[in-house]
Amino acid sequence: MTMRFFLVASMVVFCILEISEGGSLSKNFYKKSCPQAEQIILTKTQEHVSSRPELPAKLLRLHFHDCFVRGCDGSVLLESTSNNTAEKDSFPNLSLAGFDVIDDIKIAVEEKCPGIVSCADILALATRDAVSIQFKNKKLWEVLTGRRDGTVSKSDEVLLSLPAPFHNITVLRQLFANKKLTLHDLVVLSGAHTLGIGHCNVFSNRLYNFTGKGDQDPSLNPTYADSLKQTCQSLSDTTTTVEMDPSSSTDFDSDYYPVLLQNKGLFQSDAALVTTKQSKNIVKQLVSQNKFFTEFAQSMKRMGAIEVLSGSDGEIRRKCSVVN
Q: What is the DSSP string of 172-229?
A: HHHHHHHTT--HHHHHHHHGGGGSSEEEHHHHTHHHH-TTSSS---TTS-HHHHHHHH
Whether residue 23 is annotated as binding a ligand: the answer is no
Distance CA 245, CA 224 (A): 12
Asked if the structure places residue 14 within a domain, the reply is no
Q: Check the annotation: does 237 bind a ligand.
A: no
253 is in an annotated binding site: yes
Q: What is the pLDDT of residue 14?
A: 41
Which pTM was predicted? 0.91
Q: Are residues 203 and 141 in the same domain?
A: no
Extract the runs of DSSP E, i.e. beta strands, from 58-163: none
Domain hosting 186: range is: 169-302
In angstroms, the CA 321 to CA 77 distance is 5
Instruction: Out of 120, 145, 162, pick the residue that ends a domain.
Output: 162
Q: Are residues 53 and 116 in the same domain?
A: yes
Same domain, 139 and 229: no
- Which pLDDT score is estimated for 115? 97
Q: Identify whether 132 is part of a domain.
A: yes
Whether 189 is covered by a domain: the verdict is yes
Residues 156 and 181 occupy one common structural domain: no
Give 203: exposed, middle or buried? Use CB within 10 Å, 0-12, 13-18, 19+: buried
Annotated binding residue 50: no
Among residues 48, 63, 65, 184, the one annotated as catalytic is 65
CA dihedral 108, 143, 278, 256 (to 10 degrees): -40
Q: Does 188 belong to an annotated binding site?
A: no
Half-sphere exposure of residue 184: CA atoms within 13 angstroms, side-chain side: 11
Q: Catalogue the E-assigned strands of 46-102.
A: none
Q: Is residue 319 part of a domain?
A: no
Q: How many domains does the chain have?
A: 2
Pair (205, 296) in one structural domain: yes
199 is catalytic: no
SS3 142: coil
User: Does the annotation flag 69 for ligand binding?
Assistant: yes
- Domain containing residue 70: CATH number: 1.10.520.10
**Domain contains 311:** no
Evaluate whether residue 7 is within a structural domain: no
pLDDT reported for residue 218: 95
Q: Is 10 annotated as a binding residue?
A: no
What pLDDT score was predicted for residue 23?
54
CA dihedral 168, 174, 180, 186 (to 10 degrees): 10
Give the domain-ending residue among 131, 162, 193.
162
- Give me the amino acid identity at 65: H
DSSP E strands, the chain: 197-199, 241-243
191 is in an annotated binding site: no
Tell me, what's the pLDDT at 18? 41
Rounded-to-integer distance, Cα 183 and Cα 139, Å: 25
pLDDT tens digits, the chain, 324 residues: what are they?
A: 444 444 444 444 444 434 434 458 999 999 999 999 999 999 999 999 999 999 999 999 999 999 999 999 999 999 999 999 999 999 999 999 999 999 999 999 999 999 999 999 999 999 999 999 999 989 999 999 999 999 999 999 999 999 999 999 999 999 999 999 999 999 999 999 999 999 999 999 999 999 999 999 999 999 999 999 999 999 989 899 999 988 778 899 999 999 999 999 999 999 999 999 999 999 999 999 999 999 999 999 999 999 999 999 999 999 999 999
Residue 193 assigned as binding residue: yes
Look at residue 3 in the predicted model and tell me its pLDDT: 46
